[in-house]
Amino acid sequence: MRAGVVLDGRYELRERLGEGGMGEVWRGHDRRLDRAVAVKTVRDTARPLLLARLEREARAAGRLTHPHIVAVHDSNRVVFEGVPAVYLVMELLPGLPLSAELARGLPPVPQALEWAAQVADALAAVHTPEVGIVHRDLKPGNIMITHGLVKLLDFGIALLSGTADTSTRLTETGHVVGTVAYMAPEQCLGSRAIDGRTDLYALGCLLVTLLTGRPPFPMDIGMMGVLYHHVHEAPPLPGSRRPGIPGPVDALVERLLAKDPDDRPAHAAEVRDILRALAADIRTPAPPPAAAPPAGQVRPATTTAAGAPPAPATPAPAVAAPTATTGPLPAPRDAVPPSPPPDRERVRRRLDAVEAVRSNRDRSPADRDAQAARMLRALLPDLALLYGPDARETLAARLTLAESVATNDPEQAVALLEDLIPDLVRTRRRRSRLTRAARAALARERQRCW
């Protein structure tokens, strides 16, 4: 698209604000209501999946009216210069993405907790049975800070319940759904058992980022390393990175980042209330103790009304008592024990099962490759644990995963291959057979995308 285009005779595109894998975002003008708007557009015949995703985002966000969720005004599918396109009209938000705010410096701890509470408030609204949405891609880039308040954006890969529309399953083809640094273990494993607690894990990752400037498992350890750590390793708590983080904040993060969804809080509203109580406790510190008497002086004993000296003070408990608003704060759990190495023979059988699925000509390519991708997603953490993340077996499985994903989503395959090739060059040889195969696959999938 270009500046000056008017969509449906109403929405004029004036300035491109950004672009990415999901299309372009424009500053626009609504001619009918004479107001500034944001317009997200996708125009691509080679990738119809993107058109369907933007339509899904319109349906998901359009079901919501909430102070911490971007408002969607309109959406439509049109033909622009002979090419199908979809546009989504939203409120135009002043301010910066949270990712840009964090690049300027860490917020004070109470502010970080309040922003996280506002995100939890938005999640509480989308998780209600009446709405039934799991966002699945909570990260700083999908959150705007406008006039000091949080606005949650980008429902493009949200999971909608209560509808038979097949577009709600567009991203359930066995590949990564979400952003790796903020993905729950069940997402890393390609599980279909996704619910609101998956978003709460991502909120835990987001809270760590707000407090320390980086997620629990940063991407400098590589995509496979991050996936492995989400599934198998206990996360570092914020207090270990930033002195002065209160213990109850670490305890809440530990609950949010539990590997088992059953060990996480059940509802976003509970998390919101705890976060706000913790922020209030930090803003209102306990009164300082009374000054000690000068050296050599003895403080006179205070007497009761009856003239008797008061009883000795009871020592304060080590943990603050629960309040009516927060309930009991979670106690830190023991560290997650290291996972035992998987059985080598069982892993080999699972690899053989993947090959059997991929070679089954009685099924459609889309079906068999979708199943193979799901199996590989669940298998990769065990391969990394058994052989190491840089071993040939693990790297070859990542290449097979990209090839399997490519059948249903070439754009996702490009992302997987772009992550894989630097690891191949670093650990194998630039001209190794595996590296050459990955480069050829990347060139092929890029051609399909563009």
Low-confidence residues of the chain, pLDDT below 70?
A: 20-22, 43-63, 155-178, 284-341, 429-430, 449-450
Annotated binding-site residue numbers? 40
Q: Enter the tokens of residue 257.
A: 């980042």
Cα–Cα distances (Å) from 178 to 42, 158, 246, in that order, read 19, 9, 30
Over the range 276-309, which residues count as b (16 or more CB within 10 Å of their CB) and which as e? bbbbebbeeeeeeeeeeeeeeeeeeeeeeeeeee
Cα gap 351→3, rounded to integer Å: 51
Cα gap 70→58, rounded to integer Å: 11
Cα gap 434→439, rounded to integer Å: 9
Q: Enter the tokens of residue 84.
A: 């199908």
The kind and range of the H/E element at 146 are: strand 143-146
Query: Which positions ≥6 away from 265 have C-beta within 8 Å?
Result: 197, 200, 255, 256, 271, 274
pLDDT of residue 420: 84
CB 39 within 8 A of CB 25: yes
Give the domains, in start order, of the chain with CATH numbers.
6-91 (3.30.200.20), 96-280 (1.10.510.10), 344-449 (1.25.40.10)
β-pair type (23-30, 159-160): unpaired
**Angle between helices 365-387 and 344-358 in degrees, nearest 10:** 160
129 φ/ψ angles, rounded to the nearest 5 degrees = -60, -30
Nearest to 47 by CA among 23, 17, 76: 23
pLDDT of residue 314: 40
Please give the full DSSP string across 381-410, using - where no structure is assigned.
HHHHHHH-TTSHHHHHHHHHHHHHHHTT-H
Nearest to 404 by CA among 346, 363, 433, 345: 363
Nearest to 23 by CA among 59, 53, 61, 60: 53
CB 316 within 8 A of CB 324: no
Query: Which positions ≥6 away from 218 have C-beta within 8 Å?
Result: 181, 226
What is residue 31's DSSP assignment? Answer: T
Residue 146, beta-bridge partner list:
149
Q: Enter the tokens of residue 66.
A: 């909430």
At 333 the three-state DSSP class reads coil
| Catalytically annotated residue among 30, 44, 121, 137 | 137
The residue length of the chain stands at: 450
Residue 144, beta-bridge partner list:
97, 151
Q: Is 334 a catalytic residue?
A: no
Residue 188: count other Cβ atoms within 10 Å of its Cβ.
22
Q: Enter the tokens of residue 13.
A: 């595109």
Burial class (CB in 10 A: 0-12, 13-18, 19+), 423: buried
Nearest to 156 by CA among 47, 83, 232, 235: 47
pLDDT of residue 384: 77
pTM flag (> 0.75): no
pLDDT of residue 321: 37
Nearest to 427 by CA among 383, 390, 386, 394: 390
Residue 18, beta-bridge partner list:
25
Annotated binding-site residue numbers for ATP? 40
